[in-house]
A and B are shown apart, each in its own frame.
Chain A
Amino acid sequence: MATITTMDPMQPEPFQVREVSKETPDTFTLRLAPEDSIKESVFQPGQFSMLWVVGVGELPISISGDPFLHDRLVYTIRSVGQATHSLVNQKLGDSVGVRGPFGVGWPVEAARGRDVIVVAGGIGLAPLRPVIYSVLQNRKDYGRLVILYGGRSPRDLLYRKELAKWAHSPETQVLVTVDYGGLSWRGHVGVVTTLFKYSRLQPGRSVAMVCGPEIMMRFVIRELEGQGLSYDDIYLSMERNMKCAIGFCGHCQYGPHFICKDGPVFPYGQVRPLLEKYEL
């Protein structure tokens, strides 16, 4: 494996906040651009950055933007604690330190010629959005695109306008469900696994990419297996706390894997023996 020897991966680059948009009551999307404007920001779908707010802290956040736009890095962040709260409250022109991109991403290349099934739960749609952009950008290189998305309630759904738009793409099926519906919600109510029965999957020619809370991913994988997908055609994005993001601090170890450098995306076959181990 080639050793990376370029600029110090422990030093953040200053990026500026160019846009902040509210997705849900507690989730915001930030668009960042490097202060050094000639720098290109390139990433693979599924990779993440370490975002640093001076005086507050640093966190791993998945990149959720369009991988074909190199003048920016986009992140969808849910405010759940002090650091994320600070990030989502950044104002236009504020500075955020960015390290990365890090990690192994989704098999966008390997999925060429096949149907792509994207199964997302909650904020899990954010790291999968770059996959959707990639497939739509090179539409003829892929088969059918099936997007199954589950959220807690209608107001917690991300990217609703885009979901509606994607549903109108050729050979694309978008199904959305919520755990708790309100009276004005006329969509599905129930967990995301209940969407499988309405989807048209061809297991032999599909690659599935799954992201969401661990419990949700385990149930979804069971469904995918039931549909006939093999372990090597199912990919998931794992999560653990990270500090260095370069495989040295040891915190993100999951069995023998360093989630920061061997993941966060893993083929199911690789993590299958680990997923159901309590306190691994």
Chain B
Amino acid sequence: MESLEHIIAGHPFFAGLDGGFTNLMVSCASNVRFEAGTYILKEGDAANTFFLIRHGKVALEIFAPHHTPIIVSTISVGEILGWSWLLEPFQWKFNARAVDDVRAIALDGKCLRNKCEENHDLGYEVLKRFARIIEQRLDATRLQLLDVYAVRR
């Protein structure tokens, strides 16, 4: 059973960040579990935490009136869930529902945010990493939008 410290230090997202910082993150981290079907994040709620998924699958969803919830994407093992904690208004835009039983490491986004304000070098490193995640999600979303499998008439 890997320790929190081990997992965090070894995760690509945190790679290259100075040791002192990793310790800080570990001190603000905790193991969490979500039963299948429960909501990890809710649209509109304050966003102060982000998650490193260790097991299971999470669906990003949105409700529409007279429509069953639409899943826009799933996030699974090894991925980071949530970036709205990083930028104002620090609010979730989507729901995140555990599709299976999910085990994750919850990280203190608010704490990290404050540290980034104090230490801009750290802030730049963190933003670079998130920019990478956002870029990947954006490319994937654009490709999804193209609806390449649809029949064109």
Enumerate chain B residues within 8 angstroms of A190, measured Cβ to Cβ: 73-74, 140, 144
Q: Are B77 and A189 in contact (CB under 8 A)?
A: no
Q: Which residues of B contact A177 (CB under 8 A)?
A: 74
CA distance A255 to B127 in the complex (A): 43
B9 at the A interface (CB under 8 A): no
A188-B74, A198-B76 known; A193 vs B143 contact (CB < 8 Å): yes
Q: Which of A216-239 contact B (CB under 8 A)?
A: 216, 219
In this complex, which of A151, A179, A180 has the most chain B Cβ atoms within 10 angstroms of its Cβ? A179
Is A181 on the interface with B (CB-CB < 8 A)?
Answer: yes
Establish whether residues A215 and B74, one from each chain, have CB atoms under 8 Å apart when the complex forms: no
CA distance A152 to B70 in the complex (A): 14
Please determine whether A215 and B151 come into contact, CB atoms closer than 8 angstroms.
Answer: no
Q: Which of B60-77 contact A (CB under 8 A)?
A: 68-74, 76-77
| B86 on the A face (CB < 8 A) | no
Interface string of B14-44 (1 = CB under 8 A from A): 0000000000000000000000000000000
User: Are B99 and A186 neighbours in the complex by a CB distance under 8 Å?
Assistant: yes
Q: How far is the CA of A121 from the CA of B57 in the complex (A)?
A: 22
Contacts of A189 in B (CB 8 A): 59, 71-74
A215 partner residues in chain B, CB cutoff 8 A: 143, 146, 148
User: Is B74 a contact of A181 with CB atoms below 8 Å?
Assistant: yes
Contact in complex: B76, A179 (CB < 8 Å): no
Interface residues on B, range: 20 to 34
Within the complex, the shortest CB–CB distance from B12 to chain A, in Å, comes to 10
Contacts A186-B100, A197-B79, A219-B139; A191 near B149 (Cβ below 8 A): no
- Tell me, in angstroms, the Cα distance from A177 to B148 when the chains sit together: 14
- Cβ of A179: which chain B residues have Cβ within 8 Å of it? 144, 147, 149
Collect the chain A residues with CB atoms within 8 Å of residue B73's CB: 189-190, 194
Q: Which residues of B contact A152 (CB under 8 A)?
A: 147, 149-150
Give chain B's interface residues, CB within 8 Å of chain A.
57, 59, 68-74, 76-79, 99-100, 139-140, 143-144, 146-151
Known contacts A182-B68, A194-B73; 13 additional CB pairs below 8 A are A152-B150, A180-B71, A181-B59, A181-B74, A185-B71, A186-B57, A187-B57, A188-B57, A190-B73, A190-B144, A193-B143, A197-B78, A216-B148
B-binding residues in A (CB < 8 A): 26, 78, 80, 121-123, 151-152, 156, 177, 179-183, 185-191, 193-194, 197-198, 212-213, 215-216, 219
